[in-house]
Amino acid sequence: MLFVVIIPVSSLADVPKFDEQLVYSLTHFNGKGYQESFVPRSEDTIYLLANMNSVINCRYTLVYYWPLTGKYVAAFKSLNEEVDGTFEILREDKTFKSLEKKQYCLFYPEGIMGDFSQMFVSEEAYAIFKKYEKPLSDFHEQLAEYSKEMLAYKQRLNQFIGQVRSRVEAGEKVDPEQIRAGMPKEPSPPDRPPFDITGIKEDFIVNLPEGAYQIHLRAKDGTIVEGSQKKLVTFSRRRVEGIGYEIIPGNRWTRREKCNAPSSTIYAAGDNVLYFRPFMEDEYNELYYNKMVDPQNHGNPERWIWAHTSPLKSVGLVFQGKGESLVKVDRLPYLVRQIPGPELGYEILTYSLSKYPDQSPAFEGHKLSFSANSGVGTYALWLENNENKRLQGSERRILLVRKKLGRLLYGASIFPLIIGIAIFIYRKRSTS
């Protein structure tokens, strides 16, 4: 017997419900560079770093709730209507500042994908833009010319392949070396400048001392724009110049871990390769920092977290086990390449320009390899500068464990639960 089950399309994929809202769009400094975020109507407080330039603006857009992330998403491509007016900042219900829009640009010294970015405002924005506009303009012209050359190259290559095919079909013997020598030469792409810069933009620039404020947008007719009222908290670092690590596992390089606190222990088991990327770091209030990075994040106002600020590049990573000699590992560039075939996976290769001239490294780091035969126990690592002096605060412990002891660890974690159940049963019987 055949049963046919009809499932409504709406039950398979719920169409998001769009709601037009007035939201705040932000371009704010996060401790090492500038990032963008938006504040939906559901959030009543904006968090920014004190004494740093941040861009803030009101816009009408479509907002919908995304259940997979539990957050609201803005559809700026569908609607992105800017609201004109004067941005007012209040402190203790008194006007503290009234802002008009200013022109600015963002500069990326290491390119758009680099770790750093800087904001320049007013005259400084024009000066920095004028300085770097010409190299970028020349690059885009070379890129356009390269696209034309590639199109012509492909046409010549197709013609050449057609001629060779005709000769082979006519029964002519062709010499592979002659064919290879006569092939059209592929043009080389232009070298992209190591830096990048945005165009000149115009928005409200906020730079406030640490404290609590109220903000709103006043329209040209003197009324306050509905929905623009928010609280604003600006905060500072508690501690500075700590040293933390970003750890990239060789078997799952996209799932990076952080080891920021000096008291933290790094655990490794079996055959494993770890890539360490050291950073300078500052300490912030967890709630304030998380809310700044993403206004819809959560955090504990009683906790403090370390946040990476700048990578440490001119250092060596020193590794030592019990009774073993020191091993100093240099920072090297690495290339990540997908493994072809039915099994999805990646391999991490040491990068060199001569070996991979048409590719760029995915990351740089210090590589440590552990095998299943490595002795179980505690190891130590730290950083040294070019003068072989240890950097204080860079020390970490690595604990190597055996996978076959994993069941014992599971048993140890379940043991308190068993004791609790036994106590509960005993008390229940005693009461009855």
How many Cα atoms are found within 13 Å in the side-chain-facing hemisphere of 282?
14
What's the whole-number mean pLDDT along residues 96-100? 91
Q: Tell me which DSSP letter residue 211 carries.
A: E
The band of 119, judged by pLDDT with boundaries at 50, 70 and 90, is very high
pLDDT of 6 over the 60 cut:
no
Give pLDDT tens digits for 144-190.
998 999 999 899 989 988 888 888 888 888 788 888 888 888 888 88
pLDDT at position 29, please? 92
Amino acid at 176: P
Q: Under CATH, to which class is 19-123+197-235 assigned? A: mainly beta
Give pLDDT tens digits for 347-356.
888 988 888 8
Residue 74, C-beta contacts closer than 8 angstroms, at least 6 positions apart: 23, 38, 40, 61, 62, 63
- Cβ(316)–Cβ(383) below 8 Å: yes
Give pLDDT tens digits for 289-340.
999 999 999 999 999 999 988 888 889 999 887 666 678 888 999 988 877 6
Collapsed DSSP state (helix, strand, coil) of residue 418: helix
The band of 10, judged by pLDDT with boundaries at 50, 70 and 90, is very low
Domain boundaries, the chain: 19-123+197-235, 239-401, 406-432
Residue 309, C-beta contacts closer than 8 angstroms, at least 6 positions apart: 31, 32, 279, 280, 281, 282
Strand partners, 2: none
- Cβ(204)–Cβ(245) below 8 Å: no
For 432, other C-beta atoms within 10 Å of its C-beta total: 5
Mean per-residue pLDDT of the chain: 84
Give pLDDT tens digits for 192-242.
788 888 889 999 999 999 999 999 999 988 899 999 999 999 999 999 889
pLDDT of 369 over the 70 cut:
yes
How many Cα atoms are found within 13 Å in the side-chain-facing hemisphere of 178?
4
pLDDT at position 41, please? 92
**Residue whose C-alpha is closest to residue 91's, from 232, 291, 219, 205:** 232
d(CA 203, CA 254): 35
d(CA 102, CA 95): 20
d(CA 310, CA 241): 10
Strand partners, 205: 55
pLDDT at position 298, please? 92
Question: Can you spell out the DSSP letters for 57-103?
Answer: EEEEEEEEEETTTTEEEEETTT--EE--SEEEEEETTEEEEEE--EE
Collapsed DSSP state (helix, strand, coil) of residue 229: coil
**Residue whose C-alpha is closest to residue 371's, from 271, 256, 264:** 271
**Quick one: how far is CA 11 from the chain centroid?**
34
pTM of the model: 0.75
**Residue whose C-alpha is closest to residue 274's, from 252, 299, 307, 300:** 252
